[in-house]
Amino acid sequence: MNDFEDAIRDLGKRLDCPVHVHSALIDVNDTLTFVKKILLTNKVQNFTASDVVALTRIVMERENMLFLRDQEEQ
């Protein structure tokens, strides 16, 4: 666990936060990390926080679409 995950776990305990909220925060954090790596690996220069957020949204929407498609196929 990293500092962010530890802080979220502690917050969840204090606020009696549902597990799915904790999982969602961790998923978004992980996706943000990967999006920044994608941009840096592809040598995208001068990207902003809004670029990272927009790409994160695209990745998460794609993940959801693939999940729903897999559910339909089962």
8 Å CB contact between 4 and 29: yes
Taking only the tens place, the pLDDT of each residue in 9-46 is 677 666 666 777 777 888 888 899 999 999 999 999 99
Mean pLDDT of the chain: 86
Q: Which whole-number Å values give the CA distances from 70 to 21, 37, 48, 57, 63, in the listed order? A: 23, 27, 33, 20, 11
8 Å CB contact between 13 and 25: no
Question: pTM for the whole thing?
Answer: 0.71
Q: Provide DSSP, 24-59.
A: HHHHHHHHHHHHHHHHHHTT--S--HHHHHHHHHHH
